[in-house]
Amino acid sequence: MSKQFDVIVIGGGPGGYIAAIRAAQLGFQVACIDEWKNSKGGPAPGGTCTNVGCIPSKALLQSSEHFEQAGHHFADHGIGLKDLSIDVAKMLGRKDTVIKQNNDGILYLFKKNKVTFFHGRGSFVAAKDGVYEINVAGTATEVISGKHIIVATGSNARALPGAPFDEENILSNDGALRIGAVPKKLGLIGAGVIGLEMGSVWRRLGSEVTVLEGLPTFLGAVDEQIAKEAKKAFDKQGLKIELGVKVGEIKNTKKGVSVAYTNAKGEAQTLEVDKLIISIGRTANTIGLGADKIGLKLDERGMVVVDDHCKTNLPNVWAVGDVVRGPMLAHKAEEEGVAVAERIAGQHGHVNFNTIPWVIYTSPEIAWVGQNEQQLKAEGRAYKAGSFPFMANGRARALGDTTGMVKMISDAKTDEILGVHIVGPYASELIAESVVAMEFRASSEDIARICHAHPSLSEATKEAALAVDKRTLNF
């Protein structure tokens, strides 16, 4: 007889492993199946986020930022350095150690919470009497069965037609995190989150970086004022971003890559680079899942179709994270995983899509929560906005990083905060205060009345709140 579980989670990324742990905490017998292999063929749970996404990209962003600081900013502090160099192999080795710490951490958490881990590929076999049979193909093959199934199979990088990833010259996020030597010329297609983060890493280390973006506007999803400020900073750093391009033929010559494109003026151009990263979005990963075996509904792009509660068209089959609609973010996947486990237990799990923060870990960092000015204008909603520049913040001056601002937007009548948008130092950490405020439906006046430590960057959030009422104290 096959092994029986109350809950089987397919996929061990942030959506899946967190769902498995929460379900186990709630008293269920839980299995989690994940196929990711480390370089030795062993298990490497944590999904895209841990292995080729959030964690390794932030490790490289940190290393390259140290290099940038040492090369360009230490002198301002009176620190002299001779013969600054970068050992790329060591930097990549450190990144791999960080990944392994996270993989091992998840395996430990599975043990601690009594989640049974299967290393292999999970696929639906059949549904019988309200129980789903899942084939696990790993070093051995076995069939396990469960009453509730959570699909958390994540996403893969989208390729451009005619330019398959070889991970040598034409790179997805995977190859982009393994480049073995600083390329002289690096090209990126897509000035989205990956394009800007990975472009920043290699520019800081000395590459001449060109990013080709199809849309005529820079970071269209970001508040216009914030995006403009960020673009100014990237231009100053020498990150070349061409907007409104139409990419044509891409030739992989094995020595490098040439990209034919038409620029915004309609002129034919060619970009010759040593390496090309394609970062034009991601597609849901449902290939080989056996969705057809049980009639699990997918949309035309291969995403699992779910309702607001992550329920699929089949009883007791749920789906979370990148494989379903909504932003492709690790913390969104985690929140959905927790909510589904709680719903299975008869509780009222909830994910508030209005307060999911976004962060782009460039320098300056960009972070936001809620609605931006252009969205509110399009909705015709009356609002008030106030902003405060880091230039006028004492801590930012002491840090030597005064780029950017905090901008707060609230309802014109009720003063409820509708959105907070930050470009500047530690925006990734600062945004948390605004997420909490919005979750509690605070007003800008609430933030303005709260005592913030001095000197701290968080005072810029307080001052932005004061700015909504046109009464900043330090600007």
Residues that are catalytic: 454
Per DSSP, the three-state class of 34 is strand
> Residue 459 CB, nearest distance to ligand FAD (Å)?
26
User: Strands 30-34 and 3-10, how do they pair?
Assistant: parallel
Q: Is 56 in the site for ligand NAI (CB under 6 A)?
A: no
Which partner in ligand FAD, ligand NAI, none is near 407 (CB below 5 to 8 A by kind)? none
> Residue 126 CB, nearest distance to ligand FAD (Å)?
16
> Residue 197 CB, nearest distance to ligand NAI (Å)?
5
DSSP string, 353-407: GGG--EEE-SSSEEEEEE--HHHHHHHT--EEEEEEEGGG-HHHHHHT----EEE
- Integer Cα distance of 392 and 360 in angstroms: 23
Q: Is 248 in the site for ligand NAI (CB under 6 A)?
A: no
The residue type found at 445 is E
Q: Is 359 in the site for ligand NAI (CB under 6 A)?
A: yes
Which partner in ligand NAI, ligand FAD, none is near 67 (CB below 5 to 8 A by kind)? none
Residue 239: in which H helix or E strand, if any? Answer: none
Q: Determine how many CB atoms are found less than 10 A away from the CB of residue 349.
A: 18
Is the CB of 372 or the CB of 410 nearer to ligand NAI? 372
> Residue 173 CB, nearest distance to ligand NAI (Å)?
7
Residue carrying the six token digits 């062993």: 42
Task: With contacts defined by CB under 6 A, name the span among 7-15, 16-24, 209-217, 348-356 that binds ligand NAI.
Answer: 209-217
Six token digits for residue 256: 């490098």
- Integer Cα distance of 433 and 164 in angstroms: 42
Six token digits for residue 344: 């299975």
Six token digits for residue 74: 């230490």
Strand order in the sheet with 268-273: 246-252, 257-262, 268-273
> Residue 142 CB, nearest distance to ligand FAD (Å)?
13
Is the CB of 274 or the CB of 334 nearer to ligand FAD? 334
> Residue 282 CB, nearest distance to ligand NAI (Å)?
5
Exposure of 139 in the CB half-sphere (CA atoms within 13 A) = 6
Cβ atoms 299, 208 nearer than 8 A: no
By CB under 6 A, name the one of 247, 310, 324, 409 that touches ligand NAI.
247
User: Strands 170-171 and 185-189, how do they pair?
Assistant: unpaired
Which partner in ligand NAI, ligand FAD, none is near 213 (CB below 5 to 8 A by kind)? ligand NAI
What are the residues binding ligand FAD (CB under 6 A)? 10-16, 33-36, 47-49, 53-54, 57, 121-123, 152-155, 173, 194, 285, 288-289, 321-323, 328-331, 333
Is the CB of 106 or the CB of 376 nearer to ligand FAD? 106
Q: Is 193 in the site for ligand NAI (CB under 6 A)?
A: yes
Task: With contacts defined by CB under 6 A, name the span among 28-36, 69-77, 137-145, 276-284 that binds ligand NAI.
Answer: 276-284
DSSP label of 303: P
DSSP string, 452-474: --SS-THHHHHHHHHHHTT--S-
Which partner in ligand FAD, ligand NAI, none is near 214 (CB below 5 to 8 A by kind)? ligand NAI
Is the CB of 57 or the CB of 64 nearer to ligand FAD? 57
- Integer Cα distance of 460 and 399 in angstroms: 14
Residues making contact with ligand NAI (CB under 6 A) = 189-195, 197, 212-215, 247, 279-282, 327-329, 359-361
